[in-house]
Structure 1
Amino acid sequence: MTGKQILMFAGDFVEDYEMMVPFQALQAVGHEVHAVCPETEAGETVKTAVHDFRGDQTYMETRGHDFELNATFDEVDPADYDALVIPGGRAPEYLRTYDRVLEITRHFADADKPIAALCHGTLILAAADTIRGTACTAYPALEADVRAAGGEWRDEVTRDGTLVTGQAWPDHPEWIAQFLDVLGTEIDHAPSAATADDD
Structure 2
Amino acid sequence: MAGKKLLMIVGDFGEDYEIMVPFQALQMVGHTVHAVCPGKSEGDSVKTAIHDFEGDQTYSEKPGHNFTLNATFDEVEPEDYDALVLPGGRAPEYLRREEGVIAMINHFVETDKPIAALCHGLQLLSAANAVEGRTLTAYPACGPEMQAAGANYKDVAVTDVVVDNNLVTSPAWPGHPKWLAAFLKVLGTDISL
* Separation of aligned partners in 2, 1:108 and 1:87: 15
Match of 2:106 in 1: 106
Which string of whole-angstrom CA distances, capped at 9 and with x for unpartnered residues, describes residues 11-62 of structure 1? Answer: 0000000000000000000000000000000000000000001100000000
Question: After TM superposition, where is structure 1 displaced by more than 6 Å over at least 4 residues in a row?
Answer: none
Structure number, greater radius of gyration = 1
TM-score by length of 1: 0.94
Match of 1:6 in 2: 6
Correspondence for 2:174 among 159, 170, 181: 170
Give the secondary-structure state (helix, strand or coil) at the position aligned to 1:18: helix
Give the secondary-structure state (helix, strand or coil) at the position aligned to 2:116: strand
* Separation of aligned partners in 2, 1:105 and 1:4: 17
Match of 2:78 in 1: 78
Match of 1:135 in 2: 135
Which string of whole-angstrom CA distances, capped at 9 and with x for unpartnered residues, describes residues 89-144 of structure 1? Answer: 00000000001101110110110000000000000000000110000110011111
TM-score by length of 2: 0.97
* Separation of aligned partners in 2, 1:66 and 1:36: 14
> Is structure 2 residue 192 aligned with structure 1 residue 185?
no
Q: CA deviation at 1:188?
A: 3.5
Match of 2:87 in 1: 87
Which string of whole-angstrom CA distances, capped at 9 and with x for unpartnered residues, describes residues 139-197 of structure 1? Answer: 011111001111101123110010001000000000000000000001144xxxxxxxx
* Separation of aligned partners in 1, 2:113 and 2:141: 27
RMSD: 0.6
* Separation of aligned partners in 1, 2:174 and 2:168: 15
Correspondence for 1:161 among 161, 165, 169: 165
Give the secondary-structure state (helix, strand or coil) at the position aligned to 2:150: coil
Structure 1 unaligned blocks of 5 or more? 190-199
Number of residue-to-residue matches in the alignment: 189
AA paired with 2:16?
D
> Is structure 2 residue 73 aligned with structure 1 residue 69?
no
Match of 1:53 in 2: 53
AA paired with 2:111?
A
Give the secondary-structure state (helix, strand or coil) at the position aligned to 1:43: coil
* Separation of aligned partners in 2, 1:89 and 1:173: 18
For the 8 Å contact 2:15–2:88, the answer to whether it is kept is yes
> Is structure 2 residue 20 aligned with structure 1 residue 20?
yes
Match of 1:195 in 2: none
Q: CA deviation at 1:76?
A: 1.2
Query: What are the within-5 Å matches in structure 2 for residues 114-129 of structure 1?
Result: 114-129=114-129
With 154-163 and 88-97 compared, the bigger mean Cα shift is at 154-163
